[in-house]
Amino acid sequence: MNGYYAGGDPLVDTKDPGGPLTERWDKRRFEAKLVNPANRRKRTVIIIGTGLAGGSAAATLGEAGYQLKVFCYQDSARRAHSIAAQGGINAAKDYRNDGDSVQRLFYDTVKGGDYRSRESNVYRLAQVSAAIIDQAVAQGVPFAREYGGLLDTRSFGGVQVSRTFYARGQTGQQLLLGAYQALERQVAAGTVELNTRHEMLELIVIDGKARGVVVRDMVTGAFETHLADAVVLASGGYGNAYHLSTNAMGCNVSATWRAHRKGAYFANPCYTQIHPTCIPVSGEHQSKLTLMSESLRNDGRIWVPAVAGDTRDPALIPEAERDYYLERTYPAFGNLVPRDVASRAAKQQCDAGRGVGPGGLGVYLDFKDAIKRLGRETIEEKYGNLFDMYAKITDEDPYSTPMRIYPAIHYTMGGLWVDYDLESTVPGLFVIGEANFSDHGANRLGASALMQGLADGYFVLPGTIGDYLATNPLPAGIDATHPAVLEAEAAVRERTARLLAVNGSRTVDSFHRELGSILWEYCGMERNEEGLTKAIGLIRELREAFWADVKVTGVNEELNQSLERAGRVADFFELAELMCIDALHRRESCGAHFRTESRTPEGEALRIDEEYSHVAAWEFAGDGAPPILHREHLGFEHIKVQARSYK
Amino acid sequence: MKITLRIWRQPDRDAAGAMATYEVDGISPDMSFLEMLDVLNEELALAGGDPVAFDHDCREGICGMCSLVINGLAHGPEALTTACQLYMRHFTDGQVIDVEPWRATPFPVLKDLVVDRGALDRIVAAGGYISAPTGAAPEAHSVPVPRKDAERAFDAAACIGCGACVAACPNGSASLFLGAKITHLGALPQGQPERDARALAMVEQHDAEGFGGCSQIGECTAVCPAGIPLDMISQLNHDVLAALPRGKDQRG
């Protein structure tokens, strides 16, 4: 289309085991070849990232007897950004006897993903969900409990059953510490070699198979090559392409992007989730955005001044001059409409000049009525920690003045394409957690990210990778002198030298900020052909400017945070263009992806199943060459596809 | 706001370090402390200088990576607050602020304000876990946990592993960190089989890393951003004393 991309063959083989949906995972596990326990210590697996997916996978494979080489960019495996997840983790335990089941969790997840995920994968996710809770409890994860000593659950994200397990507002932290402790236990047992402050900069592919990585020791700058029988990427999502997001500062796309350039298809890069309840930007200096749990919308009422440009203190704006726009537009769901609908509506209000706070980029989330109805004490009990956090950051008291909220990039459903085994299009390269595209379709349900990361790491990958390791060992005689290894290392050296040699006049951050604002504007909550085409042009220009004028300080042979960031931002530039191309190709509105050209007469999202019921998997065709689109058709045999409606 | 910063600069692990003075202007009270350092670093980079290296990641107070001693206090002047959640409105225009790394023998400085906290990971590896290989877990409801025990475990598990307790301790002890993990796992029924072994092994590793002993001064809990209380060190001592006569191999 307009030369932005080229058409490729459809992706047909997803290694779906077939047969009855309920038996597919058992079937796959039974058919998978096994590695003899005595031989497992002779098999080495590299894992990049130590979040929920990477940490749990490394611990589990170590327990099984494999040798692991694990890398993370942080100073400890306990710091990956899974740690920041607040709300909870879904599991089909049906402890509440409220009608939950594997089938219902499967159904909710496929529907929540707006029918853009694979039935077999999602069903398996629901199947293993219950075992994750058992596993975490056995490790000592301190989930919330009832007075009787049993686990407490709550309803989350608009679903009608109470299937979300939680540990106060720190569920991600507690689950990650469980995986981290299990991982450290394997470090002590000698099965895991853990390399902190190491960043993957290249994938090593030998005879078409992933066999290793080039990493940089972030303290000394040394480039190291590591070989293994297989490589697993658990490196998280790419939300930081937008510069401002709820991700940690270091989250980046480099591991998956480098693999993409080496042959791994990138699927659905335009699917990015925008969370409606974040603390707004306070100024140019803003470095990250802080999420507040969307449970706030259960009791808070969202409004803006009815007239544009009304800058009065909110307390002075009478009821009649306020517009509770969600309650007005969506009377059935009101303030509890899904994340994407709430986010888009907030942006529309701000674009129309009715936004509040600095730069007019915010809407009110008001607890006045809830406090009147339930009393301050109840509100304090329910949301005290969130109110404290808000007060700490903004210096405003949300008990007496309405909170200001604004949407922010939160999660990326897209990622490297994987088959049923979680193997990418490069044999021997597996991708787990947020780094892959699997399971969430075009939108993710609340409390499902933790579930998927741990499902992949504790159960799915350990159930499938053995089949590959049993039949594809690293051939004898391959070592660091192999031409492919030398070539990969040379490429990293050359690229690093190039970044340092520019010595221009703009900092890495200034480029990153500008890239982020282009994506936010044109590939954010609303996309259309005109904006996306414009964005692609702007991104290309800015990327050229980056390579001509970026200022990277210092040298490689030191702890150099400017160089680390420069490499990541360089990769974000390439990804950003693909995100826009993917968004351009998908001329429908689905899930978190809203094309203004594809709306119902009432202005709501219009999915076009006849044309777009597919996964868009992009093949890298070389620098400057249009990427090649491979479509994987999505068929639905067990779920009736329906239109979303919240009216 | 205009701020004068005196910052510890040290090129690498083996080099000598020194305090260096910088001025930053145009600081907004709504900036976080780390965003103020970002501003300084942008200016340093454009002027051809070497930006100040400091650890940080989530910037929402939970990952435990940020680690600054600000005016002599680990994580700065606000209670229950990490450096990344500290805002410039807590400082005054024209103020002089000293910024130093965590200082403790087991935490060597890698560059400027960045230290190596691998010793804390090694303490966890020595026994800070419950052995529960994947797949072996019983049904989650097979062992009810009294709510007060679960709450106690959570209070302890809230430790973010930042190491501020060590930086604040005159003895350079990691006892609060230890106490938190011992309390967390020891409060739960699942943690009982390894309770003795865990306490002894973790303390042994703690001492081997060169951390000092606890003399109940309480600086640790005063700076702890996660509010780990001092009585968790008492729990640690209790568990260690109970385990000593039984030895590492006498579980339970």
The Cα–Cα gap between A512 and A526 comes to 21
Average pLDDT over residues B232-240: 98
Q: Are B196 and B244 in contact (CB under 8 A)?
A: no
The answer to whether the Cα torsion of A371, A375, A379, A380 is positive or negative is: positive
The whole-angstrom distance between B29's CA and the closest CA on chain A is 10
Contacts by A324-328, CB closer than 8 A, 24 or more apart: A325/A349, A326/A302, A327/A301, A327/A302
Q: A135 in helix, strand or coil? A: helix
Closest Cα in chain A to B56: A249
Tens of pLDDT, residues A83-114:
999 889 999 999 999 999 999 999 999 999 99
Closest Cα in chain A to B26: A285
Res. A382 pLDDT band, cuts 50 70 90: confident
CB contacts of B52 in chain A (<8 Å) are none
Q: Is A139's CB within 8 Å of B129's CB? A: yes
Tens of pLDDT, residues B138-152:
999 999 999 999 999
Tens of pLDDT, residues A32-69:
999 999 999 999 999 999 999 999 999 999 999 999 99
Res. B224 pLDDT band, cuts 50 70 90: very high
Q: Is A79's CB within 8 Å of B28's CB? A: no
Mutate to test the interface with B, among A133, A170, A174, A287 (most CBs of B within 10 A): A287
CB contacts of B44 in chain A (<8 Å) are 553
The pLDDT score that the predictor gives to residue B107 is 98
User: Facing residues of A630 across strands?
Assistant: A617
Q: Is B121's CB within 8 Å of A505's CB? A: no
Res. B248 pLDDT band, cuts 50 70 90: confident
User: Facing residues of A304 across strands?
Assistant: A323
* Closest C-alpha to B167, from B83, B68, B34, B59: B68
Q: Which domains does chain B have, with CATH numbers?
A: 3-111 (3.10.20.30), 117-132+143-246 (1.10.1060.10)
Closest Cα in chain B to A190: B125
The pLDDT score that the predictor gives to residue B252 is 42
Q: Among A170, A177, A184, select the one facing B125 at the smallest CB separation.
A: A184
| Cβ–Cβ contact A137 with B under 8 A | yes
The whole-angstrom distance between A392's CA and the closest CA on chain B is 8
Q: Is A167's CB within 8 Å of B154's CB? A: yes
The whole-angstrom distance between B95's CA and the closest CA on chain A is 20
Residue A390's alpha-carbon distances to A364, B8, B31, B151, in angstroms, are 13, 32, 14, 24
Closest Cα in chain B to A135: B137
More confident residue, A385 or A490: A490
Phi, psi for A390 (deg, rounded to 5): -60, -45
Q: Is B137's CB within 8 Å of A134's CB? A: yes
Secondary structure in 3-state letters for A306-374: CCCCCCCCHHHCCHHHEECHHHHHCCCCHHHCCHHHHHHHHHHHHHCCCCCCHHHCCEEEECHHHHHHH
Tens of pLDDT, residues B155-181:
999 999 999 999 999 999 999 999 999
Contacts by A324-329, CB closer than 8 A, 24 or more apart: A325/A349, A326/A302, A327/A301, A327/A302
* Closest C-alpha to A240, from A641, A565, A608, A633: A565
Structure tokens at B48: 């051809």
Q: Is A142's CB within 8 Å of B150's CB? A: yes
Fill in the DSSP letter of residue A250. Answer: T
Q: Is A138's CB within 8 Å of B126's CB? A: no
Q: Are A212 and A46 in contact (CB under 8 A)?
A: yes
**Is the predicted pLDDT of residue A157 greater than 80, yes or no?**
no
Structure tokens at B36: 């103020």
Tens of pLDDT, residues A207-237:
999 999 999 999 999 999 999 999 999 999 9
More confident residue, A564 or A339: A564
| Cβ–Cβ contact A503 with B under 8 A | no
User: Who's near A483: CB < 8 A, 6+ residues apart?
Assistant: none
Q: Is B18 left (phi over 0), alpha (psi -120 to 50) or beta?
A: beta
Secondary structure in 3-state letters for A549-567: HEECCCCCCCCCHHHHHHH
The whole-angstrom distance between A543's CA and the closest CA on chain B is 19
Q: A220 in helix, strand or coil? A: coil
**Is the predicted pLDDT of residue A1 greater than 70, yes or no?**
no
Tokens 């990477």 appear where? Answer: A54
Q: Among A285, A458, A554, select the one facing B31 at the smallest CB separation.
A: A285
Mutate to test the interface with B, among A74, A82, A143, A249 (most CBs of B within 10 A): A249
Q: Are A403 and A185 in contact (CB under 8 A)?
A: no
Q: Among A188, A392, A559, select the one facing B125 at the smallest CB separation.
A: A188
Report, in angstroms and rounded to the nearest whole number, the Rg of chain B calculated over CA atoms.
20
Phi, psi for A464 (deg, rounded to 5): -115, -30
| Cβ–Cβ contact A77 with B under 8 A | yes
The Cα–Cα gap between A120 and A212 comes to 30
Residue B220's alpha-carbon distances to A78, A547, B196, in angstroms, are 21, 47, 25
Q: Are A404 and A305 in contact (CB under 8 A)?
A: no
Tens of pLDDT, residues A4-37:
999 999 999 999 999 999 999 999 999 999 999 9
Q: Is B53's CB within 8 Å of A177's CB? A: no
If contacts are CB pairs under 8 Å, which of residues 585-644 in chain A contact chain B?
A: none
ipTM: 0.98
Q: Which helix (H) or strand (E) holds A213?
A: strand A209-217
**Is the predicted pLDDT of residue A2 greater than 80, yes or no?**
no
Beta strands in A42-91 (DSSP E): 44-48, 67-71, 89-90
The pLDDT score that the predictor gives to residue A381 is 85
User: Who's near B231: CB < 8 A, 6+ residues apart?
Assistant: none
Structure tokens at A591: 């899930």
| Cβ–Cβ contact A163 with B under 8 A | no
Secondary structure in 3-state letters for chain B: CCEEEEEEECCCCCCCCEEEEEEECCCCCCCEHHHHHHHHHHHHHHCCCCCCCCCCCCCCCCCCCCCCEECCEECCCCCCCCHHHCEHHHCCCCCEEEEECCCCCCCCEEECCEECCHHHHHHHHHHCCCCCCCCCCCCHHHCCCCHHHHHHHHHHHCCCCCCHHHHHCCCCCCHHHHHHHHHHHHCCHHHCCCHHHHHHHHHHHHHHCCCCCCCCCCHHHHHCCCCCCCHHHHHHHHHHHHHHHHCCCCCC
Q: Is B130's CB within 8 Å of A290's CB? A: no
**Is the predicted pLDDT of residue A503 greater than 70, yes or no?**
yes
The pLDDT score that the predictor gives to residue B250 is 55
Q: Which domains does chain A have, with CATH numbers?
A: 275-409 (3.90.700.10), 483-612 (1.20.58.100)
Q: Is A604 left (phi over 0), alpha (psi -120 to 50) or beta?
A: beta
What's the gap between Cα A429 and its chain centre? 19
Q: Is B11's CB within 8 Å of A180's CB? A: no
Tens of pLDDT, residues B5-53:
999 999 999 999 999 999 999 999 999 999 999 999 999 999 999 999 9
Q: Are B74 and B220 in contact (CB under 8 A)?
A: no
If contacts are CB pairs under 8 Å, which of residues 165-184 in chain A contact chain B?
A: 167-168, 170, 173-174, 177, 180-182, 184
